């Protein structure tokens, strides 16, 4: 039994030494890779300049632990901090974390140090959640509004279209935007396209016309009219603050067809106006099976 216990201790000691060696080699490889990729500016960040003896100073050790927790994108355990600092023990780190937590309470900060899932995390206090949620909702609303308007513009001039066709024009996934627009009753499914898989085809609704003050889709401004309004309101040279460096033909169309300025109407109307979705699809020779 004694021999077995001694062998087990020796085995554990070897494994521990092996883990330390692997950690050191991995750290060196990561530093070399980061420097090679230009992720580390040698003039600003010199990992070789880190001196573990600095952590013997309680004030510096406290700042280092606080910086590690603050910069971490997830909860940071005392064991993970110990691996980074190498000289601080788990008990020392726990004591420092408690001091930082008390400092935040004494100074009445808007954030606090929390112990979550065995680790530490710096988080804003719960009472500020409504304010943070408000600005987050504003950010999401701006993104959603822009995506929704882009999708509506494409559908208004090219309907009926499948989701894949809309995504080909926008260059991004539109499943979430389409669901939102359908919930708001701005668009609807008008049929299925007679191609493999028979995907749904989408078109605008009466509510879309009401919202934008249109009597019919024919009242949409033509692409040429929109281009004239934009050109007369904003000068490209003033917007860029520089002279035109490359001449681009006005009638050129990008290869990916993603530009909304060059979206052609679904029908052959020379005025550039769209026609109702199902009739428009039939005029283009597409067979549509309506759900209506």
Q: What percent of the chain has pLDDT over 90?
A: 24
CA–CA gap between residue 230 and residue 292 (Å, rounded) = 38
Please indicate, yes or no, whether residues 235 and 109 belong to a single structural domain of this protein.
no
Q: What is the pLDDT of residues 231-256, one digit of tens each?
A: 776 555 555 555 454 555 555 444 44
Q: What is the pLDDT of residues 117-173, one digit of tens each?
A: 889 999 999 899 888 888 877 776 665 577 888 888 888 888 899 999 998 888 888
Question: Does 251 map to a domain?
Answer: no
Q: Could you identify the residue written with the tokens 């008008």? A: 190
What phi and psi values does residue 238 have, to the nearest 5 degrees?
Answer: -70, -40
Query: Where residue 101 sits, what CATH number does that domain have?
Result: 1.10.10.10
CA–CA gap between residue 173 and residue 167 (Å, rounded) = 6
Please indicate, yes or no, whether residues 178 and 272 belong to a single structural domain of this protein.
yes
Q: Which of 124, 156, 171 is the last residue of a domain?
A: 124
Tell whether the torsion through CA atoms of 122, 124, 129 and 131 is positive or negative: negative
Please indicate, yes or no, whether residues 158 and 210 belong to a single structural domain of this protein.
yes
Please indicate, yes or no, whether residues 270 and 214 belong to a single structural domain of this protein.
yes
Question: Does 119 map to a domain?
Answer: yes
DSSP string, 203-253: EE-HHHHHHTT-SSGGGSPPHHHHHHHHHHH--HHHHHTS---S---TT--
pLDDT confidence tier of residue 223, bands split at 50, 70 and 90: confident
Residue 112 has pLDDT above 90, yes or no: yes
State the residue range of the domain holding 102: 57-124
Q: What is the pLDDT of residues 43-92, one digit of tens each?
A: 444 555 567 777 888 999 999 999 999 998 888 999 999 988 888 999 99
Please indicate, yes or no, whether residues 153 and 220 belong to a single structural domain of this protein.
yes
Question: Does 26 map to a domain?
Answer: no
Please indicate, yes or no, whether residues 155 and 280 belong to a single structural domain of this protein.
yes
Please indicate, yes or no, whether residues 115 and 236 belong to a single structural domain of this protein.
no
What phi and psi values does residue 291 have, to the nearest 5 degrees?
Answer: -90, -10
Joined together, the tokens standing for residue 39 give 């992720």
Q: Which of 92, 124, 156 is the last residue of a domain?
A: 124
Q: Which residues pair with 116 in a beta bridge?
A: 119
Residue 276 has pLDDT above 50, yes or no: no
| Total domains in the fold of the chain | 2
Question: Does 185 map to a domain?
Answer: yes
Q: Which residues contact 180 (CB under 8 A, 6 or more apart)?
A: 144, 148
Question: Does 140 map to a domain?
Answer: no
> How big is the CA angle at 230 (ends 265 and 280), to the nearest 5 degrees?
10
Please indicate, yes or no, whether residues 280 and 174 belong to a single structural domain of this protein.
yes
Please indicate, yes or no, whether residues 82 and 115 belong to a single structural domain of this protein.
yes
pTM, full prediction: 0.42
pLDDT confidence tier of residue 203, bands split at 50, 70 and 90: very high
pLDDT at 286: 45
Please indicate, yes or no, whether residues 114 and 155 belong to a single structural domain of this protein.
no
Question: Does 21 map to a domain?
Answer: no
Q: Which of 91, 124, 157 is the last residue of a domain?
A: 124
Please indicate, yes or no, whether residues 190 and 277 belong to a single structural domain of this protein.
yes
Question: Does 172 map to a domain?
Answer: yes
Question: Does 50 map to a domain?
Answer: no
Please indicate, yes or no, whether residues 98 and 151 belong to a single structural domain of this protein.
no
pLDDT confidence tier of residue 266, bands split at 50, 70 and 90: very low
Q: What is the pLDDT of residues 157-201, one digit of tens each?
A: 888 999 999 988 888 888 788 888 888 888 999 999 888 889 999
């Amino acid at each position: 039994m004694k021999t077995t216990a001694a062998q087990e201790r020796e085995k554990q000691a070897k494994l521990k030494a092996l883990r330390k060696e692997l950690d050191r080699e991995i750290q060196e490889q990561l530093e070399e890779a980061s420097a090679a990729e230009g992720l580390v500016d040698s003039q600003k960040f010199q990992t070789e300049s880190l001196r573990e003896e600095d952590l013997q100073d309680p004030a510096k050790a406290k700042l280092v632990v606080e910086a590690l927790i603050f910069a971490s994108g997830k909860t940071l355990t005392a064991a993970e901090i110990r691996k980074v600092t190498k000289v601080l023990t788990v008990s020392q780190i726990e004591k420092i974390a408690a001091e930082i937590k008390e400092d935040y309470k004494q100074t009445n900060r808007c954030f606090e140090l929390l112990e979550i899932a065995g680790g530490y995390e710096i988080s804003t206090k719960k009472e500020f959640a409504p304010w943070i949620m408000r600005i987050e909702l504003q950010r999401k609303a701006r993104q959603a509004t822009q995506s929704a308007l882009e999708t509506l513009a494409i559908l208004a001039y090219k309907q009926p279209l499948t989701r894949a066709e809309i995504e080909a024009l926008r260059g991004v996934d539109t499943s979430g935007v389409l669901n939102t627009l359908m919930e708001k009753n701005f668009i609807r499914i008008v049929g299925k396209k007679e191609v493999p898989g028979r995907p749904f085809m989408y078109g605008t609704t009466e509510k879309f016309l009401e919202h934008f003050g249109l009597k019919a889709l024919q009242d949409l401004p033509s692409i040429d009219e929109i281009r004239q309004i934009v050109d007369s309101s904003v000068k490209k040279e003033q917007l860029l603050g520089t002279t035109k460096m490359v001449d681009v033909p006005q009638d050129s169309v990008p290869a990916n067809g993603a530009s909304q300025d060059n979206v052609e109407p679904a029908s052959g109307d020379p005025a550039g106006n769209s026609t109702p979705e199902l009739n428009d699809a039939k005029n283009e020779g597409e067979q549509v099976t309506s759900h209506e």
